[in-house]
Structure 1
Amino acid sequence: MLTKGDDFPLHQSAEPIAFAGTDRNFYDRYFFNGYSPDGSVFFAAAMGFYPQLGIVDAAFCVLVDGVQHNLRASRRSAGERLDLAVGPIAITIDAPLEVVTLRITPNDGPLAAVLTFTGRHFPIEEPRFTRRNGTRLFMDYTRMTQNGHWSGWLAVDGARVPIDNDWAGTRDRSWGIRPVGAAEPQPPPQGNFHQFFWLWTPCNFADRSLFFHSNDDGEGTPWNRRAVLVGANGGERHYADPGFAAEWQPGMRRLTRLTADFDASTRLALTPSGPLFAMSGLGYTHPVWGHGFDHGELEVAHDSLPEAERAWGNPLAMHVQALVHAELTDGDRSERGVGVLEQLFVGPHAPTGLTGLMDPVA
Structure 2
Amino acid sequence: MPQRPVPLDEYPVHQIARSMRHVASGDRNAYDRSIFQVFDHEGRALLITGLGVYPNLGVTDAYATLLQGDRLIAVRASDALGEDRMRQQVGPLRIEVQEPLKRLRLVCEPQEPDPDGADPDGDEASSLSFDLVWEADFPAVEEPHHIQYTGDRLFLEANRFCQAGSCHGVIRAGGQEITVERGRFTATRDRSWGVRPIPGEAPGRAAEEFRAEGFHWLWIPIRFEDRFVMVILQEDADGYRTLDSAVLVHPADAGRPDEQLGRAHVDITYRSGSRHPESAVIHLTGADRKPIEIHAELLGGSPLAVGAGYPPAGDWQHGEWKGRGWLDRRTYDLADPAGLGLAAYGVIDHAARFTWDGATGYGIFEHGSFGRHNPSGFTGFDSVAP
71-80 or 51-60: which moved more? Answer: 71-80
Match of 1:217 among 223, 236, 239: 236
1:293 pairs with one of 320, 325, 341: 320
Q: Which amino acid is 1:272 matched to?
A: L
**Which ranges in structure 2 are unaligned for 5 or more consecutive residues?**
113-125
- SS in structure 2 of the partner of residue 341 of structure 1: strand
Correspondent of 2:188 among 170, 185, 190: 170
* Separation in 1, partners of 2:337, 2:11: 43
Structure 1 alignment gaps of length 5 or more: none
2:20 equivalent in structure 1: 17
Contact 1:225-1:240 at 8 Å conserved across structures: no
SS at match of 2:263: coil
Match of 1:282 among 287, 308, 318: 308
Q: Please list, as runs of the form range in 1=range in 2, the aligned pairs for 1:138-153 lying within 5 A after superposition.
A: 138-153=155-170
Give the whole-Å Cα distance in 2 for the aligned partners of 1:304 and 1:79.
33
Higher strand share: 1
Shift of 1:270: 1.1
Q: How does 1:324-335 map to 2 (within 5 A)?
A: 324-329=352-357, 334-335=358-359
Aligned mates of 1:171, 1:164 — CA distance in 2: 17
Aligned to 1:5: 8
Cα distance, 1:25 vs. partner?
0.8
Measured against aligned partners, the alpha-carbon deviations of 1:322-362 in whole angstroms (never above 9, x if no partner) come to: 12221124xxxx31222221111122111101121243234
Q: Distance in 2 between matches of 1:194 and 1:304?
A: 33
Task: Specify the structure having the higher radius of gyration (Cα).
Answer: 2
Q: Does 1:87 align with 2:91?
A: yes
CA distance in 2, matches of 1:317, 1:61: 14
SS of the residue corresponding to residue 8 of structure 2 reads helix
CA 1:311 to 1:34, structure 2 compared with 1: closer, same or farther past 3 Å?
farther
Normalising to structure 1: TM-score of the pair?
0.93
Deviations 1:97-116 (A, max 9, x none): 11010111111612111011
Count the aligned residue pairs.
Answer: 357
1:179 aligns with 2:197: yes
Distance 1:223 1:185 in 2: 22
RMSD of the alignment, in Å?
A: 1.9
Q: Is the counterpart of residue 118 in structure 1 residue 122 in structure 2?
A: no
- 2:280 corresponds to which letter in structure 1? L
1:265 to 275, 291, 297: 291
Q: Which residue does 1:51 correspond to in 2?
A: 55
1:354 corresponds to: 378
Where do 1:146-161 residues align within 5 Å? 146-161=163-178
Counterpart AA for 1:216: E
Alpha-carbon separation, structure 2, partners of 1:79 and 1:51: 10
Pair 62,320 (structure 1): closer, same or farther in 2 beyond 3 Å: same
Task: Tell me the equivalent position of 2:245.
Answer: 226
Q: Which moved more, 1:315-324 or 1:226-235?
A: 226-235
Indicate the residue corresponding to 2:226 in structure 1. Answer: 207
Distance (whole Å) between structure 1 residues aligned to residue 36 and residue 199 of structure 2: 21
Relative distance call for 1:230 and 1:356 in structure 2 (3 A) is same
Contact 1:276 1:310 in 2 (8 A): no
Inter-partner Cα distance in structure 1 for 2:249 and 2:170: 28
- Residue 36 to residue 19, structure 1, CA distance change in 2 (3 Å): same
What SS does the corresponding residue of 2:209 show, helix, strand or coil?
Answer: coil
Query: Could you tell me the percent identity over the aligned residues?
Result: 26
